[in-house]
Structure 1
Amino acid sequence: MTAILIFLCVHWFFSLFFHTFFLHRYASHQMYTTSKFWERFFYFSTWFFQGSSYLIPRAYGVMHRMHHVYSDTEHDPHSPHFFKDVWSMMVRTRQIYNDHVEGKAKVDPEFTQEPLPIWEKMDKFGDNNITRLVWVGLYIAFYAVFAPSAWWFLLLPIHFLMGPIQGAVVNWCGHKYGYRNFDNGDESKNTSPWGILLMGELFQNNHHKHGNHPNFAKKWFEIDPTYPIMKVMHWVGIIKLKPVPVISKH
């Protein structure tokens, strides 16, 4: 049982970290710069920890930029206010994501003006059904060895769909439940203390107000666990945080 819980926590939080650190704060918002070596390292790590639910950074980045521009309007790729439940939102989001991956979607140039990380060989390998099935097999094998009973196998879908589940939780809860520090003209909310447990991702109201600030926490009682890690990486020279605008107190 202990091995299963450790595996679940490691998979959840490392997948979530690279989701927010690389896909969100780098691919989408370019909050920091880094060398090509470290970009590839983070790219690979995102694939490794997302596993079977790997999301291609360039497609994620374009969709997220659209989300900010069209937040909670009919053009938003994943606003919860246009779906009856989270499952229908996930299905529609996946369809839009697939269109971007396959080049079927017409993309406004404003969403590709800032650089998007691209590693075609990694994407071809990671976004491959055979590769995904290998990950699924490895997850099942781990549970077969360490699960104390069959009931534990019910956790496997979380591993299979880790990236989309995390994205769905953030997009659904972060635009429906919680409190607002700022009037952004949309429905974004801060959901604390879950904002802490989601590595800062559920401080959506703060983030939509200050989209390029790497610290998603704004009040004294809000904590964004990803930001201190980014500060340490900045201090040791792995990344270079970009200067951030002065935050209004209103």
Structure 2
Amino acid sequence: MVAIHCHHWAMAWDEVVDHGGGATHPEYVTADARVDNRTNLLIAEYTAIRAVEAQKSSASHALVGAYLTVVAVILGFVVANRADPRLLITVPILSAVCGITILRRRRDREVAHRYVREILRPIAVQCSGDDRIFLWEEFYARHKDARSVRYEFGLQLVFPLSAAVALTATLPRLTSFGDWLAWLAGLGFLLMLLLTYGHQNREHLGRTVGAVRDICRHVVRWRRGRKPGSGLASDQ
């Protein structure tokens, strides 16, 4: 009986291990290789996405620096070298091009974050069996303080504000039809930038408007409570 049982165990083991003595069954080898390939592809795709995000962020900061440098050069020509102030009409065009480019790169980064969170992370959790991986985007969004939000919000305001100042400064200098045409073109670029800016930041702008509305309501209630004849005044 012992010999028969040993024979059956040997046959069962031969189905898993080949006769070479160390290699696993081809089906298990194929499954393990498939899992390894999925893991490698997942890591490679995540690394590529993070590299593209870093590249776009660096390019955006470099573009802001270049824009401020060009605007400073134009102001130097107008103020120090007594150049034609109508040269400032070029500022709205530059601001629209640079501002929309930065807004587009920011949208690309947000799309990449959603792709990692909604597509790559479920696959990674399925492959590893651990739901604590690929949590950087969610962690950063949850712990990002208001200072960084205000910094990004203010950085984007550089472009429309500088364009508006340039258009306001050149308005009294317009004399010919060509001047007005160029000024209206600059105004069109500014409006296009503002529309793009408002569309992409509508969520943040909505929260800001809501906060301002709440503050105004508190101020109105406080003012009403301070009026003579109110309950607060009578108690005092």
The structure with more helix, counted as a fraction of residues? 2
Range class of TM-score, shorter chain: under 0.3
Query: TM-score, length-normalised on structure 2?
Result: 0.23
Q: Which has the larger radius of gyration?
A: 2
Query: TM-score, length-normalised on structure 1?
Result: 0.22
